[in-house]
């Protein structure tokens, strides 16, 4: 529990630094969800979960509705999920998750940043062993919630025993097998949890310490990657800086 929460907390503070970029990235995810399951949230669990995530990130209702409407247009581009991975400076693994309508452009953009920082872009799947792929769901914690009982009920649906509690936000985050995303979401909704935001994530299984100088360089590399609209999330196995 500690490793996942420590990493995700630090990554979130870094990743969501630019609100406009967040909305752009969420808009692409909405487009994919609408294309796959339609524009009605009540009939599209993935879209329903995304809308909850948008609300948690303070994305205005008008933006959400516009993204859904735009996704229904016949001239909208088809986005594909592509991942790129390799080593950045100081031997730190870098995993780049993207949504793109032009993979040729995206891989060129990503490679340019790796080259600029003397990194090496590897083959897809080459660093998979360094990260655990998980789905996660975040929701407001009811005052009377017994987490032991909840986990016991959900464990048969692919939920892990460990969970994270954010006292500041008043939320709970549970983790599970990515293949169980739909089943977990359905169970949470049937049990009455509202605005359940779900997503997929990669959590490094071996965090590496770096010097202050190395951290500064790696942070600059991540920032450069995040400047591209196609890039959704950048993961590394660099140990988060202690507060």
What is the mean pLDDT of the segment spanning 158-173?
A: 88
CATH number of 80-129+207-236: 3.30.70.980
* Cα gap 164→141, rounded to integer Å: 11
Q: What is the pTM of this model?
A: 0.80
What order do you get walking across the sheet with 80-87 strand by strand?
120-121, 80-87, 93-100, 231-236
Give the pairing of strands 93-100 and 80-87: antiparallel
Q: What is the pLDDT of residues 18-32, one digit of tens each?
A: 445 778 888 889 988
239, 207 in Cβ contact below 8 A? yes
Q: Evaluate whether 80-129+207-236 and 130-203 have a shared fold.
A: yes
Q: Could you confirm whether domain 130-203 is CATH 3.40.640.10?
A: no
pLDDT in tens, 116-129: 999 999 988 888 88
CB proximity list for 239: less than 8 A, separation 6 or greater:
207, 208, 209, 210
**Residue 224 carries which DSSP code?**
H
Domain 15-71 is of which CATH architecture?
Orthogonal Bundle (1.10)
């Amino acid at each position: 529990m500690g490793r996942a929460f420590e990493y995700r907390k630090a990554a979130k503070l870094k990743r969501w630094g630019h609100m406009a970029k967040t909305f752009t990235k969420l808009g692409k995810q909405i487009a994919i969800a609408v294309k796959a399951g339609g524009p009605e949230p009540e009939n599209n669990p993935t879209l329903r979960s995304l809308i909850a995530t948008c609300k948690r990130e303070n994305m205005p209702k008008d933006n959400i509705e516009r993204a859904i409407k735009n996704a229904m247009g016949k001239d909208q581009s088809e986005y594909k999920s592509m991942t790129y991975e390799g080593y950045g400076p100081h031997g730190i693994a870098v995993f780049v998750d993207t949504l793109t309508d032009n993979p040729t452009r995206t891989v060129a953009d990503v490679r340019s940043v790796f080259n600029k920082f003397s990194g090496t872009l590897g083959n897809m799947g080459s660093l998979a062993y360094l990260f655990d792929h998980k789905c996660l769901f975040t929701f407001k914690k009811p005052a009377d919630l017994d987490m032991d009982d909840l986990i016991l009920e959900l464990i048969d649906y692919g939920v892990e025993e460990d969970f994270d509690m954010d006292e500041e936000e008043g939320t709970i985050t549970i983790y599970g097998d990515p293949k169980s995303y739909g089943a977990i979401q359905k169970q949470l909704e049937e049990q009455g949890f509202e605005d359940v935001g779900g997503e997929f994530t990669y959590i490094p299984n071996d965090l590496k310490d770096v010097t202050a100088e190395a951290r500064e360089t790696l942070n600059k590399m991540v920032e450069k990657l995040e400047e591209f609209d196609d890039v959704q999330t950048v993961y590394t196995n660099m140990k988060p800086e202690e507060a």
